[in-house]
Amino acid sequence: MPYSMTGIGRASGEIKYPPIKFDIEIKSYNHRFLEISVKCPNGLVPFEDEIRRCIQSKVSRGHIVVLIQQDREILPSKVEVDKALLLAYLRLVDELKNEYKISGTVDINTLLSIPGLIKFSQYQKDSTHIYKDFKPILENAIDSFLKMKKREGENTAKEIRKSRRIIEKNVHNIEKLIPERNEEYKNRLVDLVKNYKKELDEERFYQELLYTVDRTDVTEECKRLCSHLSFFKESLDNEDHPGRRLNFLLQEMQREANTLSVKANFLEISKAVILIKEEIEKIREQVQNIE
């Protein structure tokens, strides 16, 4: 059963230590390839790649946006001073005093206001513990996301199957019309020969007749279309991510329909080909949303 390329999933949960509530939302949009964007609190930034891998294992295509929010900040367990920056700042102060004869002193408040001087971070052990408790919430969001994608995919697949059946029905109608088309064509030729007053080159006539019959024979096109339709049904019914294959098969079906249109030479067959092309176009629009 195919999955829709668009969908949304949400989950909320709270970890015990530190006590933080997380809200997760996962959205996806149509895209030729798989592209995952993660927007998360600073405490989870080291695990962005791990979050992406969790989604990559379940999804093959689409532009996916993961938004993670928390109800309070994670207090840092490690506070450090950038000593190199501090020494550089103090040396600059001494240089300014000596060169420009500037008086004054540097107090602690001035030092603490230097951007980047104080670094706050988590110990790796603490961060790993937080992510371990957070991961089940992420998995719930992914499950919710996949359920919606599957539900939307099922609805899209139903519409595609309707169009596929219409195409198949019209291909069979064309196959039934071929003898009638050939008989009408034969009668036209017979009437033409009867009304032809000049001497007729019989060998040349049959050569032209064989050429015309071969040029207008649509048997092979109908067989190939039926084969593509069968393969299309198999992929749609049995693959979770058939989008690329369905697109390729649609191109092949369109090619056969175009050839049928050129070779039809019969009004009823031309009408059936138009209906086939209309349904192929409908399927093409639907398949754009299949993963």
Q: How confident is the model at residue 209 (pLDDT cuts 50, 70, 90)?
A: low
Q: How confident is the model at residue 202 (pLDDT cuts 50, 70, 90)?
A: low
Q: What is the pTM of this model?
A: 0.71
Instruction: Give percent of the chain above pLDDT 90.
Output: 56
Q: Are residues 16 and 66 in the same domain?
A: yes
Residue 18: asked if its preceding bond is cis (omega within 30°), the reply is yes
Q: Are residues 131 and 203 in the same domain?
A: no
pLDDT in tens, 212-242: 666 777 888 999 999 999 999 999 999 989 9
Say if residues 149 and 4 touch (Cβ distance below 8 Å): yes
Residues 6+ apart with CB under 8 A from 118: 79, 80, 81, 82, 112
Q: What is the pLDDT, as a whole number, of residue 73?
A: 65
Q: Is residue 1 part of a domain?
A: no
Q: Is residue 192 part of a domain?
A: yes
Structure tokens at 23: 């809200």
Number of domains in the chain: 3
Q: Is residue 184 part of a domain?
A: yes
Q: Is residue 210 part of a domain?
A: yes
Distance between CA 136 and CA 147 in Å, rounded?
Answer: 17
Q: Is residue 2 part of a domain?
A: no
Range of the domain at 196: 152-287
Distances (CA, A) of 23 to 2, 26, 80, 106, 290: 28, 10, 30, 44, 28
Distance between CA 152 and CA 161 in Å, rounded?
Answer: 14
